[in-house]
């Protein structure tokens, strides 16, 4: 079974309690459950991780590059300014899909810029937790094409 990393940046561990009007009512545990279940259905072992530490997220992207692991990445606030994360994502050796629960373009102006998008295979945003499901399906399609 092919391993896929589902990587989450700052504050995503607070899903369900953090601004439910923006991020929905699904908890982080619910996100993990949905990603692992769909991963199995698609023939993946989806390993879901979350950190508030930029350096740890960069190390995980290095791990993915070194292991040719596909990635679903929600960088959280790092999306808008972390050039270290952008450079790590640019080293990818397998597809990388950038994901956002909300639609950044419908929010504050500072959220309209992603330093990750230019080095990702694609970006999916605005579909709530369903954005992760769409990203996993996109990976499956890209990996079997």
Query: Which residue numbers belong to the known binding site for substrate?
Result: 74, 80, 87, 101-102, 111
Known active-site residue 62:
no
3-state secondary structure of 129: coil
Q: Which residues pair with 124 in a beta bridge?
A: 99
Q: Which residues pair with 46 in a beta bridge?
A: 4
C-alpha span between 63 and 101 (Å, rounded): 24
| CB 99 within 8 Å of CB 23 | no
Q: Which of 62, 81, 83, 100 is catalytic?
A: 100
Strands 122-125 and 2-8 come out as: unpaired
C-alpha span between 14 and 20 (Å, rounded): 10
Numbered residues of the known binding site: 74, 80, 87, 101-102, 111
Known active-site residue 23:
yes
Active site (catalytic) residues? 23, 100
């Amino acid at each position: 079974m092919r391993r896929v990393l589902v990587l989450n940046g700052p504050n995503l561990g607070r899903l369900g309690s953090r601004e439910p009007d923006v991020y929905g009512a699904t908890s982080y545990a619910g996100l993990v459950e949905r990603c692992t279940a769909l991963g199995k259905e698609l023939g993946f072992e989806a390993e879901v991780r979350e950190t508030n530490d930029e350096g740890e997220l960069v190390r995980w992207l290095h791990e993915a590059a070194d292991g040719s692991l596909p990635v679903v990445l929600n960088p959280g606030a790092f999306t808008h300014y972390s050039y270290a994360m952008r450079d790590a994502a640019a080293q990818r050796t397998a597809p990388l899909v950038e994901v956002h629960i909300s639609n950044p373009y419908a929010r504050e102006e500072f959220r309209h810029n992603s330093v990750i998008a230019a080095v990702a295979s694609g970006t999916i945003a605005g579909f709530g937790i369903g954005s992760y499901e769409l990203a996993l399906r996109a990976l499956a399609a890209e990996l079997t094409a």
